[in-house]
Structure 1
Amino acid sequence: MKINQLSYYDHKRQWRLEPIEFSDFNLLVGVSGVGKTRILQAILDLQKISEGKSLNGVEWDIHFTYKNNEYHWSGEFECNISNNLILENEENNFSNNSNFKIKNESLSKNGELIIDRNEIEIKFKNNILPIKPSPVQSVVETLNGEADIAAVKHGFESIISTVQWSDASFYNGLIYNIVIDKIFKDSSLDQRMVVDKRYYQSNLPVQIKLVIAYFEKNPIFQAIKERFINIFEQVEDIKIEQDEDENEEDTLLNSIQEKAPLTIKIKEKGVNNWISEKYISSGMYKTLIQISECYLTAEGSVILIDEFENSLGVNCIDILSDLLSESRNLQFIITSHHPYIINKVGMEHWKIVTRKGGVVTAKDAKDFGLGKSRHEAFMQLINLDEYNEGISA
């Protein structure tokens, strides 16, 4: 999947994203609070809508490419402002009992209208459906048995966020051991993705893919390790094995599993003992996962990285930036306000984000007439009123 253009309006919060165009590699830059992270969240909101979630007061319009086909998907949910107080931690307008009706929805493929929906009827390829699907769910979910609509759902499944990287850890042990047992021992499991070495095209979490690559002695694991060692020169090796360094919590977990959990370990120069994953710094772990994601993510995925600089030292930025920009058929949408990162990434990839009240815009560097060289453009950027002020009433 590749997102080409997106506009989004949260009627409840009066937050609007003006149409923004995306390329393969996008760096959203701007001051804190301008709306960079919210742009990523808007994309994740659409992913949830494609899964059948109902979202209060959201209107969207997105153009994207999936398997060489051009799609245009738009729609709007009704807005229910029953309480003027909007909690900051209210998760994306979702509720366990969400029942916000869809006011309208349309879906086109290569210019041909597939879905035309309003509050009264739904047309599928110009034919009125005799039975109306759920009024609170998108047709991307309710009609995903249709090939053209299933393709849209599969496309949105390929969106990956850094939240998924940080939430998962090797040291939960249970899931990884079960998966490894299933993949390598359970003959009833469909093992084609392992036998054909195409598991990196699956939707498995990247940590599990990394475990499989290690035990299969796949060259991809060696490439990941070399990239990691190039960043952290004190490291000389990486392995994945059962963790023998147990504490009380580990013992309880092992009594359930009947085995020690799998963990990643690194070997540093001049240090005799291997260092277990739970003692590795968060920056090192995050870097390993980001590198692994670039190598093991399925072709055609969209990777969202919020605040690229978080937990990463400047020694990581050069190699990771090069790796991200060189990656195979992947789309990256990244946020940052770190000067070093902005200066490292070519200005042709910048999306300069500004906000006036609740309206957010993102423009290319060329729209501001910035200099031709990277350094000149960067110096002009940091002195740009629109960039420095960022937010206006």
Structure 2
Amino acid sequence: MKIKKVAFWDNELDWCFEPIYFSDLALLVGVSGVGKTQILNCIWNLQGIANGDSLNGLAWDVTFSTVKNVEYRWQGEFETKKIPGIIPNKEDEINKFRIVKEDLFREGKSIIKRTSNEIIFKGETTPKLSPFQSVVGILNQEEDISPVQDGFNKIIYSDNSRSLNGILGIRLNVLSLLSNNNFDLENVQASDMPILLKLALIARHLPKLFEKIKFKFIDIFPHVENVQIEAVEDNENPSFTRFPIQIKEKGVKDWIFQNNISSGMLKTLIHISELYLSPEGTVILIDEFENSLGINCIDVVTDLIMENRNIQFILTSHHPYIINNIGMEYWKIVTRKGGVVTVTDAKDLNLGKSRHQAFTQLINLEEYSEGIKVE
């Protein structure tokens, strides 16, 4: 999937961001508090909505294309309830939120037309369906709708806890994958397995690809001489086998296990692995790209992002080095006035031709330095 345009409204909190247009790479820049992280969170929420989440007061309008270059536009809105201080239980119907409208277009042709009273699918009124769930989630087996859910399920919010913890305890039935002689890289890329489990499978079945990932990692951390993933028996819980990352540092006798590896090193390995082991059409969201990544990490990971293979990246950053090393054509300056978030392409601000000149002008722009304006 490739997101082309998205707009989002939160009617409960009374804020929105105006339509943002995306290419294969977007770097959202701006001062703290303007809404960069909120933009990523809203895109992430679309995955939840496509899988049945009911979210108070949210409305959306997103245009995207599938890996087969079929264009869809998906719009919708949930009712708004004021529930101060209460966190709704998703399983409690009383705290679920009805969809008041929803539209889905495929190549400009209406597939779904939904109001609060009826749902029309390809010109026919459907039987009564759940009022709390998107039709995209309910009718996900339909030929014209399944690519929508499939596309949103390829969104990765990089560095969530699942990425780090998923490999620490793996049931023994995973051993069948590790010993499978009919290993298929595309199936592993397309699966929802934690990224470090994918890496364990690659280490076993595709050692040349694992070596490529490993040496990219060692380029960043030259004090590391080797990386491996080996099965470790868990004596306290024999129904589990662990496959932790292990690194061998120069001048250090013993291997260092995953729980003793720095978070920055693990995060870097995750980023590199995602670039190689995510399927075509993946959208990778990375908030504050520089966090826990040392300056020595940024060059290699940024270069890999720029060499991506049909993978879309939407990043946020405050770091001058990151901004200065990603072409200004990918910069999107985020500002906020009250509850309205606006994103402006750098090319519309007539910045200098060289990156250094453009960056110097960027940080002195009123739109950048005074990104939050009061009403």
Question: C-alpha deviations, 1:85-118, integer Å up to 9, x for none?
Answer: 5x8xx6xx87442421111000000011000010
1:231 aligns to 2:225 (yes or no): no
What's the CA shift for 1:356? 0.4
Shift, 1:236, TM fit: 1.0
Residue number in structure 2 paired with 1:105:
102
Return the alpha-carbon distance in structure 2 between the equivalents of residues 221 and 65 of structure 1: 31
Equivalent residue number for residue 139 of structure 1: 135
Considering fraction of residues, name the structure with more helix. Answer: 1
Provide, for residues 269-298 of structure 1, a one-character-per-residue CA deviation record: whole Å limited to 9, x for no partner.
Answer: 122221111111111111011100000011
Residues 1:209 and 2:203 aligned together: no
When the two structures are aligned, how many residues end up with a matched partner? 371
1:169 Cα deviation after fit: 3.1
Deviation at 1:79, TM superposition (A): 0.3
Q: How does 1:6-25 map to 2 (within 5 A)?
A: 6-25=6-25
Paired position in structure 1 for 2:158: 162
For residues 219 and 147 of structure 2, the distance between their equivalents in structure 1, rounded to whole angstroms, comes to 39
Aligned mates of 1:328, 1:385 — CA distance in 2 = 36
Distance 1:74 1:94, change over 3 A: farther
Counterpart position of 1:77: 78
CA distance in structure 2 between the aligned counterparts of 1:64 and 1:107, rounded to whole angstroms:
11
1:278-289 paired onto structure 2 within 5 Å:
278-289=259-270
1:181 aligned onto 2:178: no
Tell me if structure 2 keeps the 8 A contact 1:243–1:276: no
Aligned to 1:249: none
Give the secondary-structure state (helix, strand or coil) at the position aligned to 2:97.
coil
| Alignment match of 1:265 (pick from 246, 256, 259) | 246
Residue 318 of structure 1 deviates from its aligned partner by 0.8
Letter in 2 for 1:61: D
In structure 1, the gaps of 5 or more residues are 245-252
Partner of 1:247: none
Q: Secondary structure at the match of 1:147?
A: coil
Among the aligned pairs, what percent are the same residue?
51
- Alpha-carbon displacement from aligned partner over 1:159-193 (angstroms, at most 9, x marks no partner): 001243x4333686322x535323146x8xxx86x
**CA shift for structure 1 position 362:** 0.9
Q: 2:112 aligns with which of 111, 115, 125?
A: 115
Equivalent of 2:284 in 274, 285, 303: 303
Say which of 139, 146, 164 aligns to 1:150: 146
CA drift at 1:231? 0.5
Code of the aligned partner of 1:209:
K
Q: Is the 8 A contact 1:23 1:331 kept in 2?
A: yes
Q: Secondary structure at the match of 2:82?
A: coil
Residue 152 of structure 1 aligns to a residue whose secondary structure is helix
Contact 1:301/1:330 (<8 A) preserved: yes
Q: CA deviation at 1:199?
A: 1.7
8 Å CA contact 2:159–2:270 kept in 1: the answer is no
Q: 50-59 or 253-262, which moves further after superposition?
A: 253-262
Compared with structure 1, are the counterparts of its residues 62 and 275 closer, same or farther at alpha carbon in structure 2 (3 Å cutoff)? same
Q: 1:198, CA displacement in angstroms?
A: 4.0
Give the partner amino acid of 1:161. Y
1:127 to 120, 124, 129: 124
Could you tell me whether the CA contact under 8 Å between 1:170 and 1:264 is conserved in 2? Answer: no
Say whether the 8 Å CA contact 2:166–2:197 is kept in structure 1.
no
The 3 A distance-change label for structure 1 pair 196 and 289 is closer
SS at structure 1 position matched to 2:270: helix
RMSD between aligned residues = 2.0
SS of 1:255 mapped into structure 2 = coil
